[in-house]
Amino acid sequence: MLDFIINWYHKRFSDPDAITLALILVFIFFGLVLLGDILAPVIVALVIAYLLEWPISHLTCLGVRRSLAVGAVVVVFICLCIISFLGLTPLIWHQLLNLINEIPNIIQQGQDYLLNIPEYQDVINAEQIKAVTASINEQFVESSKGLLTASLNSIVTVVTLLIYLVLVPLLVFFMLADKETLLRQVMFLMPKKRRLAIKVWAEMNQQIGNYIQGKVIEILIVGSVSVITFLLLDLRYAVLLGVAVGLSVLIPYIGAAVVTVPVGIVALFQFGVSPEFWYVMIAYGIIQAIDGNVIVPILFSQAVNLHPVFIIVAVLFFGGVWGFWGVFFAIPLATLVKAVINAWPTSYDASQMQSPVGKS
């Protein structure tokens, strides 16, 4: 057993570059766990910087000076964000409040529907159904009030808004404008034995950039198509549900399954079991099928080269550790684990080192 442990240690950690890589990963992991909330604006800025690097690099290839390209792209991005925020937020908030107010009616209609099913009237206990629906209604009302109060008083505070509205654009600008300088300073701080770390970073840097750009494009495509489809089908809360469908792609597999519930419930209690209801569900199923079989393979042909089981485990694990950002970066983080495993040394030169057991 001791020989096995010693041989395993020599195979995995005999290379100084492997030890450097391990220390860097451990440092980053615990740094994000301990300081994740404090560094949230930096993480947001880093994500936006990756997103904007694509148009900036294309402009520089066309001969535009990088400083000018950075300024122009950042200004256009901020303007688009302001327009989207002012245009969509009031509408989404209004539809959300209306939906929350209508939930008790939906629950009541669901109770009446269950009580009027002929095939199960001898099996279903009417008093139990009424008690269950009343409990669900009460709990939902209390939860919705608490959620709205928390969202207004805690999450979106003035200080948080100022931090994100002021610091994030500044961080994005300096990350993009001084990209080479920042990278040189980071490399200067790293240990000299960093061959494996540079190898893994080179692979992950490209994949993270492609993933962020692809994920934003996927959200825009799926969300826009869903909103237009729901509007054409005259579905209530079309913008709210369409945006929810678009954002659901942030969580692979799980998000699509979860967002199906509100779409189905709203369609069912608006149209009943009618052709219009099935039109909505079929259209929604087509959107999900196109997303999973066309959009995702095109945008993430390399990034999602992982088994669905590994992706779901990554979502659960990293989401539990880092919350939203863990879910957002679940696929790149899973790819990072795969890249580290592939790059990690699995053998050592026995002629250059002797096992301590051999000396005894």
Q: Tokens for 119? A: 């095939």
Assess whether 200 and 226 both reside in one domain: yes
Distance CA 197, CA 22 (A): 9
Assess whether 243 and 107 both reside in one domain: no
What is the separation of C-alpha 298 from the centre of its chain, rounded to a whole number of angstroms?
Answer: 18
Structure letter (DSSP) for residue 118: G
Predicted local distance difference test score (pLDDT) of residue 67:
86
Domain assignment of residue 201, yes or no:
yes
* DSSP E strand stretches across 153-229: none
Predicted local distance difference test score (pLDDT) of residue 75:
92
The answer to whether residues 283 and 229 touch, using CB atoms and an 8 Å cutoff, is yes
Assess whether 100 and 222 both reside in one domain: no
Domain assignment of residue 215, yes or no:
yes
- The percent of the chain in helix, strand and coil, each rounded to the nearest 5, is 85, 0, 15
The answer to whether residues 318 and 326 touch, using CB atoms and an 8 Å cutoff, is yes
Q: How many CA within 13 A on the CB side of residue 62?
A: 9
Predicted local distance difference test score (pLDDT) of residue 226:
94
Q: How many CB atoms are located within 10 Å of the residue 269 CB?
A: 18
The answer to whether residues 237 and 91 touch, using CB atoms and an 8 Å cutoff, is no
Assess whether 39 and 162 both reside in one domain: yes
Assess whether 92 and 128 both reside in one domain: yes
Q: Tokens for 339? A: 């890249």
Domain assignment of residue 353, yes or no:
no
What 3-state DSSP class applies to 190? coil
Predicted local distance difference test score (pLDDT) of residue 349:
45
Domain assignment of residue 2, yes or no:
no
Domain of residue 168 covers 15-191
pTM over 0.75: no
Q: Tokens for 203? A: 């692979």
Predicted local distance difference test score (pLDDT) of residue 279:
93
Distance CA 31, CA 94 (A): 39
Predicted local distance difference test score (pLDDT) of residue 353:
40
Cα dihedral: 163, 164, 170, 172 (round 10): 150
Find the angle CA(303)-CA(305)-CA(307) to the nearest 5 degrees. 125
Predicted local distance difference test score (pLDDT) of residue 200:
75
Assess whether 186 and 210 both reside in one domain: no
Predicted local distance difference test score (pLDDT) of residue 335:
76
Closest CA to 17 of 190, 191, 195, 189: 195
Assess whether 42 and 65 both reside in one domain: yes
Q: Where do we find the tokens 């750009």?
A: 213
Distance CA 31, CA 317 (A): 17
Assess whether 276 and 159 both reside in one domain: no
Spell out the per-residue pLDDT of the chain, length 360, in tens.
666 666 666 666 666 677 777 777 888 788 777 777 777 788 888 888 888 888 998 888 888 888 899 999 999 999 988 888 888 888 888 888 888 778 777 777 776 666 666 555 555 566 666 666 666 666 666 655 555 555 555 445 566 777 777 888 888 898 888 888 887 887 777 777 767 777 777 777 777 877 888 888 889 999 999 999 999 999 998 999 999 999 988 887 788 888 998 899 889 888 888 889 999 999 999 999 998 888 877 777 655 566 677 777 888 887 777 777 777 777 777 777 777 777 666 654 444 444 434 443
In the chain, the number of structural domains is: 2
Q: Which amino acid is at 62?
A: L
